[in-house]
């Protein structure tokens, strides 16, 4: 009997298990996850921290569905080593499992501080639900928090902590948020929204020292020499791939595990997907990590198909899909590119009367190569398709361009809604009625459609 082993029970691992089970009903599928309770919607941790939802409300149905399909679940078990020559993995419970095909989908983890006192109470990280529960417990008594690092977990944390009334200072090591992804305009809009929510933003600042008194955090000293009193420090970056179980040379690694467009590693029977993987971009010119829940789901789907012998190709597009408090933000492809062969189109944005709306297309060699959407992401799904195609500027649909760049669109012809969890761009007909319950085709979340004043829809999680 063939045995497929999947390391990691996040979006990539779960999707791959579903695909393999559907196409290889007679095979054994083993899913190994290091969290005791791993089946939850990770992108909703910010809402949980804010007290908007309870833990049971972000738990998914994946555990029951996978178990019912015959997938063997090993939870709370960590992989300790891989012997690629023997097609075998060793686990923290002492088991050794042979495999015919292996998928590594172990994700990324925030790098721990190494400074003196970094183990003190009050210094935390947000990598999983257990971390979120610890933070929520500490936040109940906290008065002031410092959040450090440019990352999605940082923004989730700020939303959660401010939702609980904790004063927050945000340290961004760069001079604007996520250069290379957000352009200066989008970065400033994001910062303005954080400030409006009561967050103090310090740019060009990192942690230099943590001040500990009687085993507890008292203050954080930044590289700018600011001394910030704090009883909670949340470190949110940098994040590194979880590959400590790999011996040197087992598979090729760089910024993650390097894979081809089939998600296959340097060994034919070992694949990698999700945040731990480093796949090629569409066109194959460059391999880079492509984190995010939706990218992980897509990669798990492609990896699962290729593991059972069905040729599938992953066409990677750099993407960032986040919600900053109530502000949707999507960045696609070369969203902050520069050079003599690059030009941008953003209409008259940002308009004074629409301060939190911004849309931009980036053309490289006169083909669509990137985009930014802030506040209204109705057209993001269609534009992502243009980027994957490398569509010539002359072939871009004028109606969609007019919709994007007119200051006050009366109605929206091309509509979509971002899933609150995976940020999948769900196409929605303009005849839909507000309040309808729908299901995300990617992650399976049920949500309620709400129509916005401009005719676009947003998806609201049912709680």
Give how far Cα 67 sits from Cα of 31, 108, 354, Å.
Answer: 10, 25, 48
Q: If you write DSSP's letter for every residue of 68-118 in order, what string do you get?
A: HTTPEEEES--EEEEEGGGTEEEETTS-EEE-SEEEE---EEEPPP-STTT
Contact 304, 16 (CB under 8 A): yes
- pLDDT of the residue at 242: 96
pLDDT of residue 191: 95
CA proximity to 81, closest of 62, 67, 95: 95
pLDDT of residue 121: 92
CB 310: neighbour CB atoms within 10 A? 11
CA 176 to chain centre: 20
User: For residues 378 and 80, what is the distance between their CA atoms, to the nearest angstrom?
Assistant: 44
Closest CA to 361 of 380, 376, 375, 378: 380
Burial string for 283-296 (b: 16+ CB within 10 Å, else e) reads: eeeebebbbbbbbb
Residue 386: its H or E element: helix 380-389
In this prediction, residue 428 carries a pLDDT of 62
**pLDDT score of 410:** 41
Q: Which residues contact 367 (CB under 8 A, 6 or more apart)?
A: 390, 391, 392, 393
Q: For the chain, how many helices (H) and strands (E)? A: 9, 30
Q: Which residues pair with 83 in a beta bridge?
A: 88
Per-position DSSP letters for 233-245, written without gaps between them: EEE---EEE--TT
Exposed, middle or buried, 258 (CB in 10 Å: 0-12/13-18/19+)?
middle
**CA-based nearest residue to 373, from 423, 432, 298:** 423
pLDDT score at 118: 86
pLDDT of res. 409: 45
Asked if 4 and 100 touch (Cβ cutoff 8 Å), the reply is: yes
Q: Which two tokens stand for residue 87?
A: 């097609």
Contacts of 187 (CB under 8 A, 6+ apart): 176, 177, 178, 179
Give the pLDDT of the chain (463 residues) as one tens digit per residue: 899 999 999 999 999 999 999 999 999 999 999 998 878 888 888 888 888 888 888 888 888 999 999 999 999 999 999 999 999 999 999 999 999 999 999 999 999 998 788 889 999 999 999 999 999 999 999 999 999 999 989 999 999 999 999 999 999 999 998 899 999 999 999 999 999 999 999 999 999 999 999 999 999 999 999 999 999 999 999 999 999 999 998 999 999 999 999 999 999 999 999 999 999 987 766 788 988 888 999 999 999 999 999 999 998 888 888 888 889 999 999 999 999 999 999 998 888 878 889 999 999 999 999 999 999 888 998 999 999 999 999 999 999 999 998 755 444 454 567 777 766 666 665 555 666 676 675 566 667 777 765 566 777 765 5
The Cα angle at residue 156 between residues 154 and 161, in degrees rounded to 5 = 95
- What pLDDT sits at residue 4? 98
> What residues contact residue 275 under an 8 Å CB cut-off, 6+ apart?
10, 12, 107, 108, 239, 241, 256, 289, 291, 292, 296
Task: Please give the model's pTM, rounded to 2 decimal places.
Answer: 0.87
Rounded distance, CA 309 to CA 27, Å?
13
Cα separations (Å) of 227 from 31, 198, 420? Answer: 46, 19, 37
User: Residue 371 and residue 329: Cα distance in Å, rounded?
Assistant: 11
Please report the pLDDT score of residue 34 as a whole number: 93
């Amino acid at each position: 009997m063939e045995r497929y082993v999947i390391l990691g029970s996040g979006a990539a691992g779960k999707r791959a298990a579903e695909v393999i089970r559907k196409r290889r009903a007679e095979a054994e599928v083993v899913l190994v996850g290091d969290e005791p309770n791993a089946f939850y919607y990770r992108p909703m941790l910010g809402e949980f921290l804010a007290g908007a939802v309870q833990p049971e409300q972000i738990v998914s149905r994946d555990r029951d569905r996978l178990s019912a399909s015959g997938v063997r679940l090993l939870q709370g078990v960590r992989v300790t080593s891989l012997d690629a020559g023997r097609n075998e993995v060793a686990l923290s419970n002492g088991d050794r499992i042979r495999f015919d095909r292996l998928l590594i989908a172990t994700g990324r983890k925030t790098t721990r501080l190494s400074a003196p006192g970094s183990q003190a109470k009050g210094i935390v990280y947000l990598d999983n639900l257990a971390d979120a529960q610890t933070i929520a417990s500490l936040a109940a008594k906290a008065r002031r928090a410092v959040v450090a690092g440019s990352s999605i977990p940082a923004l989730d944390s700020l939303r959660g902590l401010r939702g609980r009334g904790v004063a927050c200072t945000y340290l961004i090591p760069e001079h604007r948020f996520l250069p290379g992804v957000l352009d200066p305009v989008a970065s400033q809009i994001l910062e303005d929204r954080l400030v409006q929510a009561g967050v103090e933003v310090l740019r060009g600042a990192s942690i230099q020292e943590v001040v500990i008194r009687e085993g507890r955090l008292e203050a954080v000293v930044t590289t700018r020499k600011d001394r910030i009193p704090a009883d909670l420090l949340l470190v949110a970056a940098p994040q590194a791939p979880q590959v400590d179980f790999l011996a040197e040379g087992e598979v090729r690694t760089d910024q993650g595990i390097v894979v081809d467009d089939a998600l296959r590693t340097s060994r034919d029977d070992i694949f990698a997907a999700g945040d731990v993987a480093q796949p090629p971009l569409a066109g194959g010119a460059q391999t880079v990590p492509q984190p995010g829940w939706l990218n992980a789901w897509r990669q798990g789907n492609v990896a699962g198909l290729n593991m059972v012998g069905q040729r599938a190709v992953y066409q990677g597009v750099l993407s960032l899909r986040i919600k900053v408090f109530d502000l949707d933000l999507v960045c696609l492809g070369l969203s902050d590119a520069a050079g003599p062969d690059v030009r941008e189109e953003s209409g008259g944005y940002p308009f004074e009367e629409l301060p939190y709306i911004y849309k931009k297309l980036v053309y490289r060699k006169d083909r669509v190569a990137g985009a930014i959407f802030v506040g209204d992401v109705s057209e993001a799904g269609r534009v992502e398709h243009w980027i994957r195609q490398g569509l010539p500027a002359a072939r871009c649909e004028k109606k969609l361009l007019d919709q994007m760049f007119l200051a006050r669109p009366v109605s929206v012809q091309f509509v979509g809604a971002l899933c609150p969890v995976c940020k999948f761009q769900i196409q929605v007909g303009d005849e839909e009625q507000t309040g309808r319950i729908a299901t995300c085709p990617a992650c399976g979340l049920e949500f309620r459609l709400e129509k916005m004043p401009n005719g676009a829809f947003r998806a609201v999680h049912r709680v």
